[in-house]
Structure 1
Amino acid sequence: MDHTVSNLIFGRPNTTWTWAFMITTIIQAGIVLAIEAYIFAKFQESLMTGLPTIPLVKTIPTYLTLFIFGFLYQLVLVYDSLRLKNTIQVIGLCIYNVGMLIYASIQYDQINRAISGLSNNSPPYIMADNPVWSNIKPFLLAVPCIIAFFTIAMSVIAWKLYDEFAWTIYKHISADLRMKRRFLTFQIYIALLKFDFFFFLGFTVQFLVIVTGKTDAELGLTIAAIPITVLILFMAAFWTRRENVFGMVAIMVLYICGLAYFIFKLARMYQESHKAFYLPVRKNLTSFAVITIVLIVLTITNGTACMLNFNKGLKQHVMKRKIGDAEPEKLGHMTELPDLKSGHVPVSSRMTID
C-alpha cells in the first residue's frame, strides 16, 4: 500500500495490520449484504400481489435495512478507530461484531416465523407450496457462520493492533500512570456513546416499522426521540471534553430516563395485553433492548468516572481529537519508543504532547 495514500487516510504511523482490519470489515460487509439482498429479493418474489401491507411483510425488509445500516456504521467506526489509533474502540468493534452475530442468529427463527405466518394468513400472502423458505434457509444459516469467522479474524488483527497502537498512548499522555487511567476511562466513555447510537436506533426503527398497536402519542414521542438522542450523545461527548459538571449532571439524568424507558419497553413486550403487537419482532427487540440497557449502565458508570477525573489535568489531552498524527518536528527531541516489557523508560530532553 502506498505510504502517501495511507498517511492521508489514517495519519501517521500506518501499518499492514491497520489496512488488514479495514479490508476485513469491508469484505465481511460486502458478503453479508449480498446474501441479505438475495434473501430480500427471494422474499419479495414470493409475496402475492394486490394485498394490503401487514407487519409481517415488513419483517425481512427491516432486517435488510438494519444490516445495511449496521455494517455501514461499522465501517465508519473502523475508519474512525484506525484514524484515531483508538485501541479501545477497535476492541469495541469486535464486540459489536458479536452483537451482529447474535442479530443474524435470531434472524433465522424470526424469518421462519414470518414466512409461516404469511403462508397461514387468511388470505395467504405466500402460497403454502412456495419454496421460498427452502431457497433462503441455507443462506440464513450461512450468515451467522460468516460473521463468526470474520469476528475471529477481526479479534486476531485487533490483538496485533493493540501492540502497535500502545505506544501512542505513551506518547500522548507520557509516563504518568494515573493520567493514563483517566485517559483510558475517557476513551471507553466516548466509544460507548458511539455504540449506544446504533443499538438505540436499531431498536427504534424496528419498533416504528413492525410493531402495531402504537398510540399517536407513543408514535410521536418515539419519532421525536431519535434526533433528541443524537443531540444527547453529541452533548455528552462535548461536556466531557470540556469538563463541564453541570452539563454532565444533566446528561446523567437523561441517561437514567433512557434506562427507565428501555426497561419499561422490555417489560411491556411480555405483558399479556401487549405482547401480540410485538410477536413479529419480539426476539430482536428483546436483544436490542437488553444490549442497550447494558450499554446505558456502562455509559453511566464510565460517565461518572469521567466526572470524578475532572480538573485533574486530563482536559488538555482529550481536547486533541487525533492521536499519533503529529509531524516529527512537532514532537520535540523525542526518543524512540521505549521497551515497555523491560521496564526501561528513556528520558527525553524535551517532550511535548502530540
Structure 2
Amino acid sequence: MMKPETRLKWSFIGVATIQAITILALQGAILTEYLDWINPVVYQVPTSYVVPVTFAVSTIGFLFQVLLAIDSCLFNNKIQIWMQCLINICLSVASGMQYFQTKSAAKSISTGYNQFKNPFINTDKLYWKITGPMAIACIAVAIVGSICIYVLAFFLQIEFAWSVYEHISADTKIRGRHRKFSAYLVFLKVSVLLIILFVIVYGFINVHYVQPEFGLTMAIMPIAIIHAILASICVKREYLPGMIVVITFHIGAVVYLVTRLLDLYGTGLKSRTVMKEEMALFACFSLAFISASIVAAVICIFNFGQGLKPLLLGRSSNTASPSTIDFTNPQHLGITSDASERSSKRFEMD
C-alpha cells in the first residue's frame, strides 16, 4: 500500500486534515444551532438557505483539500501543492464573506414572519451571540492553514523536484511535456471543485428551486465530474477526437459562467441576491482555471506522439535513447530512494 514516506508529506497532509476537521466541527455546530433556532416556515425565503449552503461549501471545499493533499504527496505533484495554496486562499476569503453573509441573514430572518404571522425563528434563542465567535474562528483557522500549507509547499516542491528527475526523465523535453500534462490534470481537478461550489451557491440561493433552471443547474455537477474523468483518460491516451469534445465542453463552461456573471451584475431580479460576492468569487476562480485548462489542453494536444504516452501508460520500448531513463520498469513517483541510490542513479543519468 502506498503511503507518504517523509515528515514533510505527513505534515502537509496533517495540516490539511486538522484544518478540515476543525472547520467542519465549527460549521457543524453553527448549523446545529441554526436548525434549533429557526422554524420550518423560514424555508419559504432564499435567505434561510445561507447557513446550510455555507456548511455545504465549507465541507466540500476543505475535504477536497485533504484529498488533494494526499494525492499530491503520493504522486509528488509539485504543481498541485501550489494550486492547493491558491485554493486555500480562495476558501479563506470565502470564510470571511460567509461571516458577514451569515450575520446579515440571521438579522434578516430574525424579524420575519409568514403570511399567517408565524415567526421565522425561536425568539427565546440568541443565535448570533452563540455562533458569531465560531464563524470568526473558522476564518482564523483557514488563514493559519493557508500560511502553514504555503510554508510546507515551499519545502515539498524541492523534495518533489528530485522525484520528477529520478522517475520521469533526465531529458528536459520529456520533463517539460510531463509538467504540462500534470498541469492540465491539476487545472481539471481545481476547476471541477470551484464550479461545483458555484453551482451549489447559485442553485440554492439565486435560482432557488425555480424549474427548469434549478434542475439544469444541479445537473452541471455530475456532468463536470464525468467530463473531468473523460478528459484525463483522453489526454493520457492521446485520443485527439476525445480531446476536441473535451475542449468544446471547456468552452461551454466558460460561456455559462460568463452569462451567470452578467446576470449577477446586471439589472434583473437575479442581481438582487444574497451571497452575490461568494458566487462571483467562485465563478471568477472557475473561469480562470477553466481558461487555463483550455490552454493546457491545446498544449497537450501538440505534445501528442512525442514520447510521453508510453510513460503515462506504464509502457515503453527497450530502445530508449541515451538522453532518457529506461522506462521498461518505471517506479511510482511516490517511492523515495535512499541517498546512495539517488547518487548512483544521478551519475548514470548524467
Normalised by the size of structure 1, how large is the TM-score?
A: 0.85
1:324 aligned to 2:333?
yes
| Offset, 1:163 | 1.5
1:231 aligned to 2:240?
no
SS at match of 1:174: coil
2, 21, 30: which is aligned to 1:39? Answer: 30
1:91 aligned to 2:79?
no
Aligned-residue CA RMSD (Å): 2.6
1:142 aligned to 2:137?
yes
1:54 aligned to 2:63?
no
| Offset, 1:232 | 1.1
Aligned partners of 2:308, 2:36: CA distance in 1, in Å? 57
52, 61, 65: which is aligned to 1:74? Answer: 65
Deviating more after overlay: 267-276 vs 257-266: 267-276
Aligned partners of 1:143, 1:348: CA distance in 2, in Å? 49
Aligned partners of 2:293, 2:110: CA distance in 1, in Å? 43
Residue in structure 1 matched with residue 101 of structure 2 by the alignment: 110
| Offset, 1:348 | 5.0
| Offset, 1:189 | 0.7
| Offset, 1:336 | 3.4
1:287 aligned to 2:281?
yes
Residue in structure 1 matched with residue 317 of structure 2 by the alignment: none
List aligned pairs for 1:10-49, cutoff 5 A. 10=3, 14-48=5-39
| Offset, 1:52 | 5.0
Aligned partners of 1:64, 1:180: CA distance in 2, in Å? 41
List aligned pairs for 1:121-160, cutoff 5 A. 121-123=112-114, 124-126=119-121, 131-160=126-155
List aligned pairs for 1:211-226, cutoff 5 A. 211-212=206-207, 215-226=210-221
Aligned partners of 1:196, 1:229: CA distance in 2, in Å? 9
Aligned identity (percent) is 25
Aligned partners of 1:92, 1:322: CA distance in 2, in Å? 25
Aligned length: 330
Residue in structure 2 matched with residue 337 of structure 1 by the alignment: 342
267, 290, 293: which is aligned to 1:296? Answer: 290
SS at match of 2:304: coil
Aligned partners of 2:168, 2:67: CA distance in 1, in Å? 26
Aligned partners of 1:147, 1:348: CA distance in 2, in Å? 43
Q: Which runs of 4+ in 1 moved over 6 A?
A: none
1:161–1:179 CA distance, 2 compared to 1 (3 A): same
1:314 aligned to 2:323?
no
**2:77 alignment partner AA:** N
SS at match of 1:279: coil
Aligned partners of 2:127, 2:61: CA distance in 1, in Å? 25
Aligned partners of 1:84, 1:10: CA distance in 2, in Å? 10
Gaps of 5+ in 1: 1-7, 329-333, 350-354
| Offset, 1:270 | 2.2
Structure 2 contact 43–49 (Cα < 8 Å) conserved:
no
Residue in structure 2 matched with residue 3 of structure 1 by the alignment: none
**2:313 alignment partner AA:** M
153, 158, 163: which is aligned to 2:158? Answer: 163
Gaps of 5+ in 2: 315-329
| Offset, 1:108 | 1.1
Structure 2 contact 196–221 (Cα < 8 Å) conserved:
yes
Structure 2 contact 163–336 (Cα < 8 Å) conserved:
no
**1:199 alignment partner AA:** L
258, 268, 274: which is aligned to 1:273? Answer: 268
Aligned partners of 1:313, 1:10: CA distance in 2, in Å? 29
1:303–1:335 CA distance, 2 compared to 1 (3 A): farther
SS at match of 2:275: helix
Aligned partners of 2:278, 2:129: CA distance in 1, in Å? 22
| Offset, 1:213 | 6.3
Aligned partners of 2:242, 2:144: CA distance in 1, in Å? 42
SS at match of 2:74: helix
SS at match of 2:273: helix
**Per-residue CA shift, 1:96-138, capped at 9, x if unaligned?**
1111101101101111221122123234424678532222222
Residue in structure 1 matched with residue 245 of structure 2 by the alignment: 250
Structure 2 contact 74–333 (Cα < 8 Å) conserved:
no
Aligned partners of 2:27, 2:253: CA distance in 1, in Å? 31
Aligned partners of 1:58, 1:20: CA distance in 2, in Å? 36
Residue in structure 2 matched with residue 182 of structure 1 by the alignment: 177
**1:287 alignment partner AA:** L
